[in-house]
A = this chain, B = another copy of it.
Amino acid sequence: MRRSATELRGQILAAARAEFARYGLAGSRVDRIARVAHASKERLYAHFGDKEALFREVVATDVATFYQSVTLRPDRVPEFAGDVYDLGRNSPEHVRMIAWARLEGLVLDEPRPDSQLLFEHAITAIETAQADGHVDRTWEPLDLLAMLFGIGLAWAHAPDEYQGTTDPAVIARQRAAAVEAARRIIGSPVDN
């Protein structure tokens, strides 16, 4: 059973993201990644360069996947905060990868076109929502977007001792709080 280069690449990336999400860049070990992917370190290096290059590859993919998972619709801005909340709960490893990358100071030199497009799409959606009267026009779209993420991920960023609940009632309450907070912030003339 020989693997194609694409299969091998995919298996290395999967092993790398599990390792990196858990241990970060500095704490991760390439030999563990290679072992899980059933590849030699030499083949891994041949495909991805060094450990940092592999880390960047995983982060770029995760950022793109993260943004692709939530869509900001002009007429449903508050729901976006709820979707971000769900994303933080369901994809904690993505949140971790992005946080590791930020701490490591790894600015992605060129944001991938797909991430950039998704970001621009979100900003455009807020502008449309403002033009359509769904969102108070006094907000700078960039600030509002940052705060919608901040609210949706508020519990994911809280100290461990106050998060990590698995109680469905608590999860539902937190999600509803995020949506309601967003609804109040956007100050829709209909609702206020």
Contacts and interface: CB of A to CB of B under 8 A. Distances in A.
Given A177-B143, A184-B184, A154 B150 contact: yes
A63 to B, nearest CB: 7
A160 B107 contact: yes
A187 interface: yes
A192 interface: yes
A157 B153 contact: yes
Given A27-B25, A150-B154, A103 B99 contact: yes
B111 A161 contact: yes
A173 to B, nearest CB: 6
Overall SS of chain A's interface: helix
A146 B158 contact: yes
Sorting the interface of chain A by its residue count into under 10, 10 to 19, 20 to 34 or 35 or more gives 35 or more
Interface in A11-38: 23-27
A118 to B, nearest CB: 12
Nearest to A28: B26
A149 interface: yes
A153 B27 CA distance: 26
A161 B25 contact: no
A120 interface: no
The 4 closest A-B pairs by CB, nearest first: A150-B154, A26-B27, A26-B26, A150-B150
9 contacts: A23-B26, A24-B24, A25-B27, A63-B159, A107-B161, A144-B177, A147-B177, A150-B157, A157-B157
